[in-house]
Structure 1
Amino acid sequence: MLDIVIDARQASLGPGMEVRRILPFRSRRMVGPFIFMDHAGPIAMEPELLPSMDVLPHPHIGLSTVSYLFGGQVTHRDSLGVEQVIRPGEVNWMTAGSGIAHSERFEDPAALAGGSLEMLQTWVALPEKDEEAAPAFDNYKPEQLPVFTDTGVWMRLIAGNAFGLQSNVKTHSPLFYLHVVLEQGARFGLPKEHPERGFYIAKGSVEVAGRTYSEGQMLVFNKGVDPVILAKTPATLMLLGGEPLGERFIWWNFVSSKRERIEQAKADWKEGRILLPPTDNEQFVPLPQDKSKPAGSPPPQALS
């Protein structure tokens, strides 16, 4: 029934920016096309320390980054010239394809008021035919995303299709990504349309098959299993999964179906062939030292 339980690990992206890393995991690299998941916050910090949290310009290939906030706001800038402030309930979907660089900066002190800054970052691997697609960026407002409510249940479909709903967010392969809020005692399930499915407990605790699971855990289920999720407390869940794409290699911020493409991306970033954001090009994250680990064994990644 239950394939695996993944406990989030603490990772540091810099002063003041501690995250819970869920994917990739040593014995479960992906769930459907999802290959990376970080949960940052809630974060409380003195306003003068805000710049220390900034994620400087850094590169990606072969994936789409998905940014989703519970609270606060973040300013995105990329090498396409896009500058976009993302707020709670919105979706920033950036497809790196053949290569893009972007930054995420925390420029509004109000974003940290009361420890309200909280965000989730996921990476979605691209099908092989789209790994070298032209880079693209889209921002979607909350009103563009389907919402469903029932007794004790609130659900927003961030991307893909689930429970008969379809999101307008442009994706490259069959998947689903859901934000679900449950009142205590509410019951929920997983969409049956997809072969690989799981959920991450962002807040609260739930019971599945008589066992309780808590905040910071991801549960992944075998194909064909339809678990009943019972909220033991008020709970916030992120459901995700979809069609598997096959093996992917991941090193730093690079994802590819080919090891040699990872090596090319390293050289491209080191030699400046991936452009910096035109309005944020005075700093960047240098290529980490390669200690000759396999491409499937990444050093700590950037937040997105």
Structure 2
Amino acid sequence: MNENIKQVSATLNPPAPHMVGDGFRVHNFFPNGYKLKMSPFFLLDYNSKIQFSARNEPRGVGVHPHRGFETVTIAYHGAVAHHDSAGNSGVIYPGDVQWMTAASGILHKEYHEEAFSKKGGAFQMVQLWINLPAKDKMSKPKYQALTHAEIARHQLPNNSGQVEVIAGEYLDTKGSANTFTPIHVYNLRLNKSGEASFNFPANFNTAFMVIEGEIKVNDREIAKADTLVHFKNEGEQILVTGLQDSIVLILSGAPINEPIAHYGPFLMNKPEEIQQAIADYNQGKFGYLEE
């Protein structure tokens, strides 16, 4: 066996779903569903594909604060409108990415987009929380809107499909998002019988979320839609084969080796920083956003 293969540590079924607000039915793979080494990725909420009925009043999540990290929302089906207290707003449609750096603090709300809500239909999303290093936690909030058309693509040989490079780089294709630490976030769109190979440093925490289809990893492990493939921190090379036409969200990043203090929507390094975040929020220092 090639010693440089990054071996699978586990293929994980989706944990029981729970509702976030009334618009997002999510499986929390980590940190609550499974205890995984995935820093700098702190949270993965997967809204598996469900049908929402038509409704005049959009479902969603009301105004809530964030501090100390980034939220990354990736749309596969449906449409989400969002607003924040820094004055940013927009809509993400299938293939789009909303990359919000909450950092020093922001208020945020997200709802099903109005036209989608009135019509109803298939809805499927991923939200990631990406931790920030201590030196960047209190930086200015910012927002990166990445439409599907703008995201960098690498065409795979032999009509295997393509890699959409949201962040980091894949071979010679550089990702569209700016990041604070070394991370790779890709959407792999793999055709049936297509192959793609990846190379990540041994110490990078790595996982594949199978969004659609079915894949074989390293010619051994089979992973179906809605499962998470988690890798060991050894070896570098991963081979993926499409057993069906498949979409796979690929995550790999250098761990941030700093202490974590987490409470609700705040992700800091020390308990006193959590207390400060709560105090700042209560004093209105995160700005104002209408419900």
Q: Cα deviation per residue 1:16-56 (whole Å; 9 max; x = unaligned)? A: 531122222465345241111112243322322653x2111
Determine if the alignment matches structure 1 residue 257 to structure 2 residue 269.
yes
How many angstroms apart in 1 are the aligned matches of 2:273 and 2:95? 34
Q: Does 1:224 align with 2:235?
A: yes
Distance change >3 Å, CA 245–CA 228, structure 1 → 2 = same
Q: Compute the displacement of 1:100 (Å).
A: 0.6
| Pairwise CA distance, 1:59 | 0.6
The yes-or-no answer on 1:154 pairing with 2:165 is no
Alignment of 1:74 with 2:80, yes or no, is yes
Paired amino acid for 1:171:
T
Deviation at 1:240, TM superposition (A): 0.6
CA spacing shift, 1:211–1:4, aligned 2, 3 Å: closer
**Normalized per residue, which structure has more strand?**
2
1: distance between equivalents of 2:12 and 2:260? 19
Partner of 2:4: none
Structure 1: runs of 5 or more not aligned: 284-304
**1:44 partner SS:** strand
Q: Does 1:215 align with 2:225?
A: yes
CA deviation vs aligned residue, 1:254-285 (integer Å, no higher than 9, x gap):
111222212222333344432232xxx1x3xx
TM-score (norm 1): 0.83
In 2: Cα distance, 1:159 partner to 1:180 partner: 13
- Counterpart of 2:253 (choices 238, 242, 248) is 242
> Given residue 253 of structure 1, which amino acid in structure 2 is its aligned partner?
P
Equivalent residue, structure 2, for 1:198: 207
Residues 234-264 of structure 1: CA deviation (Å, up to 9, x unaligned): 2210001111002433322111122221222
Structure 1 CA distance for aligned equivalents of residues 201 and 171 of structure 2: 8
Alpha carbons 1:41, 1:119 under 8 Å: kept: yes
Q: Measured at CA, do residues 191 and 49 of structure 1 come closer, stay the same or move farther in structure 2, by a change above 3 Å?
A: farther
Residues 125-158 of structure 1, C-alpha deviations (whole Å, 9 max, x = no match) = 1111101111111212333321122322222111
* 1:86–1:211 CA distance, 2 compared to 1 (3 A): closer
% identical equivalent positions: 25
Moved over 4 A (4+): 111-114
The answer to whether the 8 A contact 1:47-1:109 is kept is: no
Q: TM-score, normalised by structure 2?
A: 0.86
Aligned to 1:174: 182
* 3-state SS of paired residue (1:216): coil
Q: Is the 8 A contact 2:11 2:223 kept in 1?
A: no
Q: Retained in 1: the 8 A contact 2:56–2:118?
A: no
Residue 79 of structure 1: how far off its partner (Å): 0.6
Structure-2 residue corresponding to 1:104: 110
Distance in 1 (CA, whole Å) between partners of 2:124 and 2:66 is 23
